[in-house]
Amino acid sequence: MRWSAGDRSNIEDRRGGGGGMRAGGLGIGGLLLLLVLSWATGTDFLSLLGGGSDVTSAPPSGSAPPADTSPQEEQMVNFVDAVASDTQQTWSRLMGNGYEQTRVVLFRDVVQSACGMAESATGPFYCPGDHRVYLDLGFFSDLDRQLGAPGDFAQAYVIAHEFGHHVQNLLGTNERVQRDRRSGADSASVALELQADCYAGVWGHDAAQPGRQQAGKVELDPGDVEEGLRAAASIGDDRLQKMQTGRVQPERFTHGSSAQRVEWFRRGMETGDPRQCDTFRGLTQ
């Protein structure tokens, strides 16, 4: 990927703050941890978390500078800002005045959101209560080492997926999931996650267009799309369940199978049309 550093206007930096113990939303990385806990204790922590959208506390105001950092970490902050900026430009073009600008909240270890307190183990997540994307930069190392999905476009896919949830929130799609509290492969919650994958692909389609060498624009290199597809495949429910328990339980799916995640991400990449992302079609009400 090719990108240039911006003014970090898409970042809310809380790496110097924190506090709390309980995750308020389920992100991509948190799925792996909760599968382990569910298997070890016999309690289905995935279903107990539900949608993670209840407002339990307000986020702290302002941003705290990091207590310590490195040039490599600051480069990653610039990368997140660049991807967030480009993603939001795509959705502003597609939605016009219906799109609301937001920010990525960077944190270390723990963070307070309008959805409650979240630990880094929760993984990246979107909180509907305050319209913010939350990210601990350490997740990208886990994506590479633990989940086998290296590369900058794999990281960009994760960010764009969370912005997909922001788009869903603005469109009122979350309300459909709140009415359907079922879990499993045919649930509305899985449809929500697959649609966010498709929306991530919609942004990827924009980024793959030639002639984007202008300030503030992300441009893809050969092989980037394969990185994104590999990331989508690495975080399918079936793969993660098999890694932890040796068997697949579709009735406990929350995000969709590897094949489904690849399919919907690819559909967004190929069409660039959010109207092609109707993952809810055919679901019983």
Q: What share of the chain is helix, strand, coil (3-state, %, to 5)?
A: 50, 10, 40
pLDDT at 233: 74
Mapping DSSP to helix (H, G, I), strand (E, B) and coil, where does residue 132 land?
Answer: strand
pLDDT at 202: 97
Mapping DSSP to helix (H, G, I), strand (E, B) and coil, where does residue 11 land?
Answer: strand
| pTM summary value | 0.80
pLDDT at 59: 40
Residue 161's pLDDT band (cuts 50, 70, 90): very high
Q: Which residue has the tokens 């795509």?
A: 90
pLDDT at 113: 93
- Cα–Cα dist 128/182, whole Å: 20
pLDDT at 52: 40
Question: How many CB atoms lie under 10 A from the CB of residue 285?
Answer: 7
pLDDT tens digits, one per residue of 13-55: 999 874 433 333 445 555 555 544 444 334 444 444 444 433 3
* Residues 1/86, Cβ–Cβ less than 8 Å: no
pLDDT tens digits, one per residue of 81-116: 999 999 999 999 999 999 999 999 999 999 999 999
pLDDT tens digits, one per residue of 237-268: 767 776 777 877 777 677 878 888 999 999 99
pLDDT at 282: 66
Q: State which of 9-13, 64-68, 245-249 shows the largest mean pLDDT.
A: 9-13
The residue type found at 143 is L
Q: Which residue has the higher pLDDT, 8 or 57?
A: 8
Q: Which residue has the tokens 């506090």?
A: 19
**Residue 242 phi, psi dihedral angles, 5° rounding:** -70, -35
Domains defined along the chain, listed by start: 11-276 (3.40.390)
Mapping DSSP to helix (H, G, I), strand (E, B) and coil, where does residue 204 land?
Answer: helix
Mapping DSSP to helix (H, G, I), strand (E, B) and coil, where does residue 107 land?
Answer: strand
- For CA atoms 140, 185, 198, 87, the dihedral sign is negative
Q: Which two tokens stand for residue 234?
A: 């690495």
